[in-house]
Amino acid sequence: VRDRDRRCVITGVGEGRAQAGWWTGLEACQVFPLAVESHWNGGDYGITMHPRSGGSINLVQNGMLMFGGIHSVFDRYAFSIN
């Protein structure tokens, strides 16, 4: 997720020290929460995504990079992305 997004997908702001491995404040966020994997599987949402390891929902394609505070608000369903 870090390699693909390189910055917060909501604000567009990156961590200036990311090149040195400092990702302070940026977190990988699941689009579909891991707790609803049965819904993911039942809806065939991962049909074109093939996991390398872990559950079928635990994929890079199911993730986005966000700043921690924004991630927390997203996890509370305070906003959505269309």
Distance CA 81, CA 72 (A): 14
Identify the band that residue 19 occupies on the pLDDT scale cut at 50, 70 and 90: low
> Could you report the per-residue pLDDT of 21-71, keeping only the tens digit for each?
777 889 999 988 888 888 877 877 765 565 555 556 878 888 999 999 999
- Most confident of the following: 3-7, 16-20, 45-49: 3-7
Q: Is the model more confident about 8 or about 34?
A: 8
pLDDT at 52: 56
What stretch of H or E contains 75?
helix 68-75
pLDDT at 22: 72
- Phi/psi at 41 (5° precision): -70, -40
What stretch of H or E contains 74?
helix 68-75
Q: Is pLDDT at 80 greater than 70 in this prediction?
A: yes
pLDDT at 70: 95
Per domain, the residue ranges of the chain are: 25-81
